[in-house]
């Protein structure tokens, strides 16, 4: 561990998180804004669903660690929401189980520290016409249901949540500008995600505040 020790932000999720430090990715945007203020850790695993996440919570977020994150941003849902296959050979997780898995994630994270802050990102929308996979069939209306369920569960748990389906659809050309392959994000899509996260970080009345201007700059 290099020092001095800074607050830690952890990005936890599937490929939307794994690729978030790619070309103008949303993780990279946050890292730039919080440069010299926060250390950002990426824990993204392509192809994972909420079921995978629950299985490794104790390994990714050990309760006995002396230093716990100040913020965890969680994204799962894009793989959970794929249409189920008769042979079960894809990442589909039924909606009810997805909600309970996200609840388990929330409970575990809350148990780490009284000061930890959590933001859940819902499944983002998709461009069905751009998707080419015959193995994982995805439908926009299903993604919207998973997004709404994630936000509703978060509200019940007192957790900040962002409905990315709603956020993307505010932009007229979201289908053609936000995705590289129908689901993964272009710089335009990543900018929307970063903007929505920053709204939460700057508008929340958390104490201590995680507003970028409220955090000290290292060796300023």
**Of 23, 65, 83, 181, which is the active-site residue?**
181
Catalytic, 14? Answer yes
Catalytic, 65? Answer no
- Going by C-alpha positions, the residue among 160, 173, 171, 88 that lies closest to residue 122 is 160
Question: Element (H or E) spanning 60, and its range?
Answer: helix 57-60
CA angle at residue 134 from 151 to 81, to 5 degrees? 10
How far apart CA 122 and CA 116 sit, in angstroms, is 20
Packed helices 140-157 and 95-112: angle between N→C axes, nearest 10 degrees: 40
Tokens 């490929």 sit at which residue?
A: 15
**CB–CB of 34/218 below 8 Å?**
no
Catalytic, 181? Answer yes
**Of 20, 184, 205, 209, which is the active-site residue?**
184
Residue 49, classified by CB atoms within 10 Å of its CB into exposed (0-12), middle (13-18) or buried (19+), is: buried
Cα dihedral sign for 173, 174, 179, 182? negative
Report the first-to-last Cα separation within the chain, whole angstroms.
21
**Of 14, 15, 70, 124, which is the active-site residue?**
14
How far apart CA 124 and CA 83 sit, in angstroms, is 16
How far apart CA 109 and CA 105 sit, in angstroms, is 6
Residues classed as catalytic: 14, 181, 184
């Amino acid at each position: 561990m290099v020092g001095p020790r800074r607050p830690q932000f952890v990005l936890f999720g599937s490929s939307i998180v794994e690729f978030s430090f790619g070309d103008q990715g949303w993780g990279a945007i946050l890292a730039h804004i919080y440069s010299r203020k926060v250390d950002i850790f990426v824990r993204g695993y392509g192809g994972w669903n909420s079921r995978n996440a629950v299985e490794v919570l104790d390994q990714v977020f050990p309760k006995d660690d002396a230093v716990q994150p100040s913020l965890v941003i969680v994204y799962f849902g894009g793989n959970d929401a794929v249409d189920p296959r008769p042979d079960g050979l894809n990442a589909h997780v039924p909606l009810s189980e997805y909600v309970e898995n996200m609840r388990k994630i929330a409970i575990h994270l809350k148990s780490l520290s009284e000061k930890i802050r959590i933001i859940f990102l819902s499944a983002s929308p998709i461009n069905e016409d751009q998707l080419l996979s015959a193995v994982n069939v995805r439908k926009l209306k299903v993604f919207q249901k998973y997004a709404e369920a994630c936000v509703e569960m978060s509200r019940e748990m007192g957790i900040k949540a962002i409905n990315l389906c709603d956020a993307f659809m505010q932009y007229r050309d979201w289908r053609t500008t936000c995705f590289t392959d129908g689901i993964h994000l272009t710089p335009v899509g990543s900018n929307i995600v970063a903007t929505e996260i920053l709204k939460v970080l700057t508008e929340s009345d958390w104490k201590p505040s995680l507003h970028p201007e409220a955090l000290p700059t290292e060796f300023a």
